[in-house]
Chains A and B, each alone.
Chain A
Amino acid sequence: MEISKEQVEHVAKLARLEVSENEKAMFARQLSAILTYMDQLKEVDTEGVEPTATVLPTENVFREDAVKPSLTQERALANAPDQADGFFRVPKILEDR
């Protein structure tokens, strides 16, 4: 499987990763090699085989909907890169008119 520079750009955007020109060329080369290796899975007959998402028996795990102590606002915000008035602060989302 060959991955083009354009595909790298597309995937990087989906992953919210800015990539430099150097990285684009490097990722295109490395991902092509890795995906070519992955292509060997095509030779496995998986017709009618259920996918495995987890090895555990999947069942709902319930708990009582009870109020319990939790992190204070101050502690929850302690690692925030930026905060104001008890909120996480982010760069402006809306354009100025």
Chain B
Amino acid sequence: MNLRRLTLFELKDKFLKGEVSAVEIVKAYFQRLMLAESKVKAYITTAKKDALVKEANELDYSLSKWRKTMPLMAMPIAVKDNICTEGVKTTCGSRMLENFVPPYDATVVARMREHGCYLIGKTNMDEFAMGSSTENSAFGPTRNPWNLAYIPGGSSGGSAAAVAAELCVAALGSDTGGSIRQPAACCGVVGLKPTYGRVSRYGLVAFASSLDQIGPITRDVRDAAVMIQMIAGHDPLDSTSADMPVPDYTKALKENLRGMKVGVPLEFFAEGLDPEVELAVRTAIIQMQALKAEIKEISLPMTKYAIATYYLIATAEASSNLARYDGVKYGYRAPKEKGLLEMYMKTRQEGFGAEVKRRIMLGTYALSAGYYDAYYGKAQAVRTLIKRDFDEAFKEVDVIVTPTMPTPAFKLGEKLQDPLQMYLSDIYTISVNLAGVPAISLPCGLSSRKLPIGLQIIGRPFEEEKVLRAAYAYEQASEWHLKRPSL
């Protein structure tokens, strides 16, 4: 039996039954890291093998004396490098934070540690989560485990690649405009962006605070349900975290879609959609119908304005959030500058990469005197209309099904010189963040080049259960989640 092939649900079941030991699990994953990490480069930092084996040994010994278990005990889980981990470098893929060691854990990390998980590493990402390919990392790109010449998606490309390449059993990512779902689609794994407010953002390095949300990237839908169960819920340390009860997500998983109304928005099947992706998604919709779902054509007419709206709001928020990197309290400082202003300006020039600077510039421009109303104010009003589209649609349907991405993964370097083309790859994921609703991406096909294709299922606010149920029923009726890259 190959331990690293098991899902989180299967592995924790075997561990809790005493069929495998913590040491066996840890060793299996480090063996895999030795073999595959140099090809994929999913991680910025990995745990130290000796220390983790020692910890696992002690755990196995103490369990042999006194059986007290926790739900994620001994599970090697990866965390995106913009989520703070006490005592472990959190770089955000940036020179600016290359040596930043947080003095505290993000709430999600604290909760997962309380549930007994092992932090196996911090995953690579586009700098400050700005990008769709993980090529904007200051520490070099991550590669797609299905084909090393292709991007893994982004910005949580390291987390998605690590799950796909079996370099961890599950991972956390963050999603501001698709950064969990789009890489999950590229790497043939499952990625869930929860409702805005479902999961605490405390300790997530801020990019665009009204859009950011942490969520799991996993091998299958059941694992996504297990993971969100661990991290969801109110947190007094995040005033935007919702004070609402957390349901039992694994109980929501059912094998059919009886009574479920599924909307298919015609705007998501328009120009620019790759024919192979369209075929895979349409086939999935037919399968959902066979599972007794009622399929309904719907319209989200504001979809075409989502990218323009998003890139004004997200960059405006980013320009404000990233003002904190001034070389004073933490992070990089340009050496030998005489005055304070020169120090600020040089620090930021040297510490930030090109895409981050471009977005800071765009956001600063959109917020500057004379342009605020025309750009930022306008975008906020259009955001209201985008949200209304979803409100209207959800009066008629329970979930909405779309492609996650207009094409399969593209080649490394292909869109690096043209930022606008790169932004357009987020077209199907972005409106979900603007509306604040939950959505999942799961595998629904392979292209002729053997690259994964993702299906996106969107739900009403705080109805992750229905999203998970729809995803699970489809997944169980298909076999795409069982396909693995031959790395």
B-binding residues in A (CB < 8 A):
3, 7-8, 11-12, 14-20, 23, 27, 30-31, 33-35, 37-38, 40-42, 44, 46, 49-56, 61, 63, 71, 75-76, 78-82, 88, 90-93
Contact = CB atoms under 8 A, between A and B. Distances in A.
Contact of A17 (B309, B349, B384): B349
A91 B365 contact: no
Nearest to A34: B420
Contact of A54 (B240, B368, B375, B420): B240
A34 B385 contact: no
B321 to A, nearest CB: 12
Contacts of B375: 35, 38, 41
Given A16-B326, A92-B339, 8 more contacts: A16-B341, A33-B420, A35-B362, A37-B308, A38-B375, A41-B378, A49-B385, A56-B242
Contacts of A52: 380-381, 383-384, 387, 434
Nearest to B383: A52
Contact of A31 (B239, B358, B379): B358
A33 B375 CA distance: 15
Given A44-B382, A91-B343, A81 B331 contact: yes
Contacts of B236: 63
Contacts of B210: 53-55
Main SS of chain A's interface residues? loop
B197 interface: yes
Interface string B366-403: 00100000010111111111010000000000000000
B419 A19 contact: no
A15 B308 contact: no
Interface of B: 99-101, 103-104, 196-197, 210, 236, 239-240, 242, 302, 304-305, 307-309, 311-312, 319, 323, 326-333, 337-346, 348-349, 352, 357-358, 360-362, 364-365, 368, 375, 377-385, 387, 419-420, 423, 434-436, 461
Given A52-B383, A90-B340, A91-B338, A81 B328 contact: yes
Contacts of A90: 328, 340, 343
Main SS of chain B's interface residues? helix
B358 A46 contact: no
A55 B95 CA distance: 33
13 contacts: A16-B345, A17-B349, A35-B375, A41-B308, A41-B309, A46-B384, A52-B380, A52-B387, A55-B210, A71-B103, A79-B99, A79-B330, A80-B329
Contacts of B196: 54-56
Contacts of A15: 319, 348, 360-361, 364
A67 B277 CA distance: 56
A55 B387 contact: yes
Contacts of B308: 37-38, 40-41
Contacts of A78: 101, 103
A61 B241 CA distance: 10
B361 A46 contact: no
Contacts of A23: 357
B476 to A, nearest CB: 32
Contact of A76 (B103, B312, B349, B423): B103
A31 B357 contact: no
A15 B340 CA distance: 14
Contact of A56 (B240, B333, B383): B240
Contact of B101 (A49, A63, A79): A79
A50 B381 contact: yes
B343 A27 contact: no
Contacts of B461: 55
A41 B380 contact: no
Contacts of A79: 99-101, 103, 329-331
Nearest to A63: B236
Given A23-B357, A30-B419, A56-B196, A46 B328 contact: no
Contact of A11 (B338, B346, B361): B361
Contacts of B312: 38, 41
Contacts of B378: 41-42, 44, 46
B433 to A, nearest CB: 9
A88 B329 contact: yes
Most-contacted residue by chain B among A56, A75, A78, A92 (CB, 10 A): A56
A51 B423 CA distance: 23
Given A11-B368, A16-B344, A46 B382 contact: yes
Nearest to B379: A41
B439 to A, nearest CB: 14
Contacts of A12: 361
A8 B361 contact: yes
Nearest to B239: A61
B349 A31 contact: no
Nearest to B369: A14
Contacts of A80: 328-330
